[in-house]
Structure 1
């Protein structure tokens, strides 16, 4: 039996929490870039660090996504919890680096599928600074949209309505 629909409004902080927690829980996201003509998506393992307002990926130095990020740094990441009918999308600015200390810090056993160890010179760090996010709590039902950027700078109050828009 389906649960009755309640028009419960989440606070901006609740929306932010749910987006960050869902991204952290699911790990693998569809990472989407722009190549100048088309969007390109591929699955990547996300390291979600809300306290740093960052999402990190270990990627290989080769691959078209690196060129795309360099030229068009605005990307989006989508996480799906199909069993729970929960979906989150975060968009933001991506930057590629060769930060060897951070790569070593983020390394885990799953990365051995692609590289021998964290010292592999082909590994690059892809960092994303989230700017906005959107959360769906069940199929085709938008629960809230969270604007996750520059709250301290803009000082704008969120627009509340069918979607909750907030700044971080």
Structure 2
């Protein structure tokens, strides 16, 4: 992997959520993601009754947008989203946050796992909050434009 890819995965792993949706539908919904770097996949836990889960038949083109100033990552991530019945993956990623949504925990019949196989991402990687403030202050002293980090695309 390139340095850009490592930066992307490392920072994405430290971010809790983003906005997920299908590219055919302009509505995006907030969702927590779980990073699977090795398989270039994001996982999501949702309820079977959500509009997003009900709209999935097979896999469909999807988008996940993350924006986290603290981690210095802004990204538009594309891939294919599908329903999954991978119980081992659900066991692996299940946590206290997910359990807050389901009365019977991991065994709740409404639990639905989603798998997003990534195809590409457009990424803006900055230095985070402190770097941003430094760059703004430096620009005021030197008159130079602030360096806001790297902008790049990744293909998975």
Query: Which TM bucket (shorter chain)?
Result: 0.7 to 0.9
Give matches, 1:69-84, under 5 Å.
69-70=56-57, 73-83=60-70
Counterpart in the other structure of 1:20:
9
What runs of 5+ residues in structure 2 fail to find an aligned partner?
A: 127-131, 133-147
Residues 83 and 100 of structure 1: CA distance in aligned 2, closer, same or farther (over 3 Å): closer
CA contact (8 A) 1:75 1:94 kept: yes
Count of aligned pairs: 135
How far apart are 1:72 and its partner, in Å? 6.5
Q: How far 1:142 sits from its partner (Å)?
A: 5.9
User: Among 108, 111, 116, which residue is 1:120 paired with?
Assistant: 108
The secondary structure found in structure 1 opposite 2:27 is strand
Q: Distance in 2 between matches of 1:32 and 1:90?
A: 11
Correspondence for 1:3: none
Aligned to 1:5: none
Structure 1: stretches of 5+ with no match in the other structure: 1-11, 149-168
Runs ≥4 residues deviating over 3 A: 138-142
Counterpart of 1:128 in 2: which secondary structure? strand
Contact kept? 2:58, 2:82, Cα under 8 Å: no
Kindly provide the CA deviation profile for residues 82-102 of structure 1, in whole angstroms up to 9, marking residues without a partner as x: 235431221101110233333
**Conserved? CA contact 2:45–2:111, under 8 Å:** yes
Quick one: distance in 2 between partners of 1:24 and 1:133?
15
The equivalent of 2:153 in structure 1 is: 145
Aligned residue for 2:9, secondary structure, equals helix
CA RMSD of aligned residues (A): 2.3
Superposition TM-score, scaled by structure 2 size = 0.75
CA distance in structure 1 between the partners assigned to 2:71 and 2:17 by the alignment = 16
| Equivalent residues of 1:99, 1:124 under 8 A apart | no
